[in-house]
């Protein structure tokens, strides 16, 4: 009943997240690619910021969701929560790969290198590898309970990397630029701040929407598998 209630809530609210995310991303892309001005130092290339930073932020948001889901699973032991963890991990891997790829494309014209072993980039790559490891671990274990428990523990351990990613530009001398928007203030031009903010919130909400859809997908796949398995057993019996 908990699972049915949970999935029912996701179905009820998902479309609003999807609509708001779609509107924010559409307006963000329009302002970012059409109306905002080029940067004083970087020129047109600064437009990559409007896709790279939201992807990187969302990758970290997705990993934070995975971390919370994992704690929730270890506490409640609900299989639908494990579905949500699995969904968050897949999405986190997608956005992390997107962040790495767009960052690499941005690095070439600005740093003249596709990749450097900078603390921010390296710690972000570690998050990517942790997520690959997490998804591999899930495929290795057949027992549902063990799979959910061990992967939740791995996700919680891997969370150590997130503060390292966030503070890496302050703790070490880094080629990567420091935070443009922080508690110390905003170091970004107003006409760049509009698409940046719209895209950040838009991609973040899109992740939330995708998490809701993917959780349903995994839950329904398991439900169908279980139903078909029962029918098969009944047929054999």
Using CB under 8 A, list all residues that contact another protein: 4-5, 7-9, 11-12, 22, 26, 29-30, 33-34, 38, 40, 42-45, 47-48, 51-52, 55, 94, 98, 101-102, 105-106, 108-109, 206, 210, 213-214, 216-217, 220-221, 223-224, 226-228
Least Å from the CB of residue 148 to another protein? 20
Let me know the angle formed at the C-alpha of 179 by 93 and 28, rounded to the nearest 5 degrees: 65
Question: Helix (H, G, I), strand (E, B), or coil: what is residue 182?
Answer: strand
Let me know the angle formed at the C-alpha of 210 by 209 and 211, rounded to the nearest 5 degrees: 90
Q: What gap in Å lies between CA 48 and CA 153, rounded to an integer?
A: 35
Nearer to another protein, 55 or 134 (CB): 55
Q: What gap in Å lies between CA 82 and CA 90, rounded to an integer?
A: 12
Least Å from the CB of residue 94 to another protein? 6
**DSSP 8-state class, residue 43:** B
Least Å from the CB of residue 109 to another protein? 4
DSSP of 193-222, one letter per residue? HHHHHHHHHHHHHHHHHHHHHHHHHHHHHH
Nearer to another protein, 63 or 94 (CB): 94
- Whether residue 177 contacts residue 42, with contact meaning beta carbons closer than 8 Å, is answered with no
Least Å from the CB of residue 3 to another protein? 9
Nearer to another protein, 172 or 201 (CB): 201
Nearer to another protein, 157 or 231 (CB): 231
Least Å from the CB of residue 52 to another protein? 7
- Whether residue 205 contacts residue 62, with contact meaning beta carbons closer than 8 Å, is answered with no
Residues pairing with 182 in the sheet: 185
Least Å from the CB of residue 156 to another protein? 26
Nearer to another protein, 8 or 163 (CB): 8
Nearer to another protein, 98 or 159 (CB): 98
């Amino acid at each position: 009943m908990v699972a049915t209630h949970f999935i029912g809530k996701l179905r009820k609210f998902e479309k609003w997240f999807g609509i708001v995310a779609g509107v924010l991303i559409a307006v963000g892309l329009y302002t970012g690619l059409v109306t905002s001005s080029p940067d004083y130092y970087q020129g047109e290339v600064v437009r990559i910021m409007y896709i790279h930073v939201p992807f990187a932020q969302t990758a970290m948001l997705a990993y934070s969701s995975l971390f919370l889901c994992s704690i929730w699973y270890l506490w409640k032991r609900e299989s639908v929560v494990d579905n949500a963890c699995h969904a968050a991990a897949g999405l986190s891997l997608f956005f992390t790969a997107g962040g790495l790829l767009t960052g690499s494309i941005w690095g070439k014209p600005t740093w003249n290198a596709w990749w450097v072993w900078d603390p921010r980039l390296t710690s972000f790559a570690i998050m990517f590898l942790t997520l690959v490891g997490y998804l591999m671990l899930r495929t290795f274990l057949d027992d549902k309970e063990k799979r959910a428990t061990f992967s939740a523990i791995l996700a919680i351990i891997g969370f150590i990397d997130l503060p390292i990613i966030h503070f890496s530009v302050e703790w070490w001398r880094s080629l990567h630029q420091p935070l443009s928007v922080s508690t110390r203030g905003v170091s970004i031009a107003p006409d760049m701040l509009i698409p940046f903010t719209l895209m950040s919130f838009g991609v973040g909400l899109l992740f939330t929407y995708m998490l809701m859809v993917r959780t349903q997908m995994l839950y329904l796949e398991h439900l169908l598998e279980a139903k078909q398995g029962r029918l098969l057993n009944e047929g054999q019996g």
